[in-house]
Structure 1
Amino acid sequence: MLYLTLRHYEYTCAVAQHGSLSAAAEALHVSQPALSTALARIEDHLGQALFVRRRGAPLTLTPQGRDFAKAAQNLVDQAAQLEAPNGASPVLQNLVIGCFSDLAPFVLAPALRCLRQAFPDLTVSPRMLGFSQLTEGLLRGEIDLAVTYDLGLDAGFDRQVIDRRAPQALMPPDHALAQYRSLSLAQLADAPLVLSQEGLSVQHMLGLFKTIGLTPRIAHRAASLEVLRSLAANGEGIGISYSAPPINQSYDGKALASIPISDSFALEPVIIASHGTPKADSPLARAKDVLSKALGQNG
């Protein structure tokens, strides 16, 4: 005889989605004490904690809780599909979208807006991370979809290209190279460069120079895009970045020129990635299609 009912699984999913008992109770139309008691009984039956409880902080899933909540959500979705007329696909309720940190200022807000328009009842949880953290999140099922550059992902990931970006060379407007409308990597090889300290990003850039048989001079590795832009604007080296805000100043008010790098082999795809290919017409596949149409060539 099964101890846990479908309602128990719904309770767990709701708490995982909302991060608090009060918000989950309101969404489920139950009292907070009743939900708290049910959650304690679920954990007692399983013999393990599903959530980490800290005073004044949102409830967060334990590693065991993440696995259980994901399996529970699949079960709830399957039950909804069985009950739906003609076996229609269930409504997407919760989506965790990851975004590479340098891309987030450009694509995250449009992504949230289009998803909420397409799925009014959708709970979207954004994560802004580096390449390795995004990959780990997708592998562990903690992230459903990621908007990122196509770096560090193997054949087990499904990719949908939404844009292709050329890197930009960043420098003060009075720099000798700022007069050019575009530049090649060969023209930059002898100059001190400012690159991201993100491991995969550095490896990728070094690989591009290696393609043409050159080894660049790295003056600085910046912890963030704005630090990179500031160093470049202050003459510490020519910055190279695929992310180019449409403004000609750094955070500290220094003028900054942005010159596109013209080498065709340096173009880098921006993708929507998932671990594995979502089942056709599944909620996740529909969300991926909505994102692709909204962000394509604008991400």
Structure 2
Amino acid sequence: MRLSIRQIRYIKDVAQFGSILAASEALHISASSIVAAINLAEGELGTALFERRPSRGVVATPAGEKFVRAAQMLLTAEAEFERTIATLKTRNKPSSEIRIGCFEPFGSLFMPDLIQAYVGRGGVPNVSLFEGDQNELHNWLVSGTVDLVIAYDIGPSFNGNVTPICQVPAHVIVAADDLLASRKAVSLREIADRPLVLLDLPHTGSYLLALFDGLELHPRIAFRTRSYTTVSRAVAAGFGVSVGNTSPLSIAEHDDDGIVRLQLVDKLVSPTLVIADSYGADKPDFVRSFINTAQELFLSSGRRLSS
């Protein structure tokens, strides 16, 4: 077939997301490029891969399901090939730089502390930090732009070896002068009627709102932003309360930026903080050292995987 690996991935992602528009947004490419890939494949196969449903996305036909299964095998083999080649290039070659991708809010919360600890124990001194959303991290890892990523286990799965670091349960963020600030813990029901400041990054916003949906609560979103720093400042300024997962490694009762973090008493599923790399079992020493540093640092701060 004349399809490229990239076009095959487009078609696989359309089946995964159930929508050309959703796949376009997740992959950060135009919908027309995806449509062109589908049309090319359907033209060569002489059959439809998707049934178009106006206003309801698409659903794979039986032929489409077979295509997607074959595509997944091909893409898995491609990822394994890239991991093997990367290992051959780096296994015996000292690295002068480590390229780290991190979920954007982590940059201001704990990445400087983590990188300082890594360099302090003999890690690569030259660090390039790429801060992005879950989709960008996935694309950077697959393309080889970064050596590893540190992120949540939500959104697109990473095509690589994933090491779980710790659980990150959700918590509530309120202004330091809020009436709730003197509390140690609250429930989502107690804040459901308050204006909500939402960290509206891909997958993150829907995950946070799903916490309320699971309890049949419907918060009023008063402030949306893609910046965690802006979330904190908006809460401190009185725009509303917020819900987050990760906090600074040295957790103080009152943050320096005028906010307070309160535990949630609700029984909620916690995402896991993970480090994903493309090397599999043959990790170069500089990558293995970074993972070990992260595990030790989060464990020493009292955060661990649930038993």
TM bucket (normalised to shorter chain) is: 0.5 to 0.7
Q: Given residue 291 of structure 1, which amino acid in structure 2 is its aligned partner? A: T
Give 1:174 deviation, angstroms: 4.5
- Cα deviation, residue 108, structure 1: 2.0
Selected match of 2:133 from 130, 133, 156: 130
Secondary structure, in 3 states, of the residue corresponding to 1:264? coil
CA contact (8 A) 2:148 2:287 kept: no
- 2:294 is matched with 292
1:233/1:121 Cα in 2 relative to 1: closer, same or farther (>3 Å)?
closer
Q: Scaled by the length of structure 2, what TM-score is found?
A: 0.60
Q: Per-residue deviation at 1:120? A: 5.4
**Alpha-carbon shift at residue 217 of structure 1 (Å):** 1.5
Q: Give the percent of matched residue pairs that are identical in Structure 1 and Structure 2.
A: 21
Q: Deviations over 1:174-225 (max 9, x none)?
A: 5343343211222222221111121211110111112222222211112322
Uncovered stretches (5+) of structure 1, i.e. residues with no partner:
1-69, 81-89
* Unpaired segments ≥5 residues, structure 2: 1-82
Paired residues of 1:226 and 1:250 also in contact (CA < 8 A): no
Matches within 5 A, 1:3-82: 76-77=89-90, 80=92
Give distance in 2, aligned partners of 1:167 and 1:117. Answer: 31
2:211 counterpart of 1:208: yes
Provide the C-alpha distance between the structure 2 equivalents of 1:228 and 1:279, rounded to a whole number of angstroms: 38
Q: Specify the alignment match of 1:59 in structure 2.
A: none
- Per the TM alignment, residue 250 of structure 1 is displaced from its structure 2 partner at its CA by 6.6
Counterpart position of 2:259 = 256
Aligned to 2:236: 233
Matched residues in 1 for 2:104 and 2:285: separation?
Answer: 25
Measure, in 2, the Cα distance between the counterparts of 1:191 and 1:159: 37
- Asked if the contact 2:118–2:290 (Cα under 8 Å) also holds between the matched residues in 1, the reply is no
The Cα shift of 1:289 comes to: 3.8
Quick check: 1:278–1:284 contact (8 Å CA) kept in 2?
A: no
TM-superposed CA distance for 1:288, in Å, is 4.7
TM-score (norm 1): 0.61
**Aligned twin of 1:171:** 174
Q: Pairwise CA RMSD of aligned residues?
A: 3.2
Name the amino acid aligned to 1:292: A
CA distance in 1, matches of 2:131, 2:189: 33
1:235-266 CA-to-partner distances (Å, cap 9, x unmatched) read 21112222435563675xxx433212232324
**Shift, 1:71, TM fit:** 9.6
Query: In the aligned structure 1, how far is the partner of 2:218 from the partner of 2:201?
Result: 18
Aligned to 1:161: 164
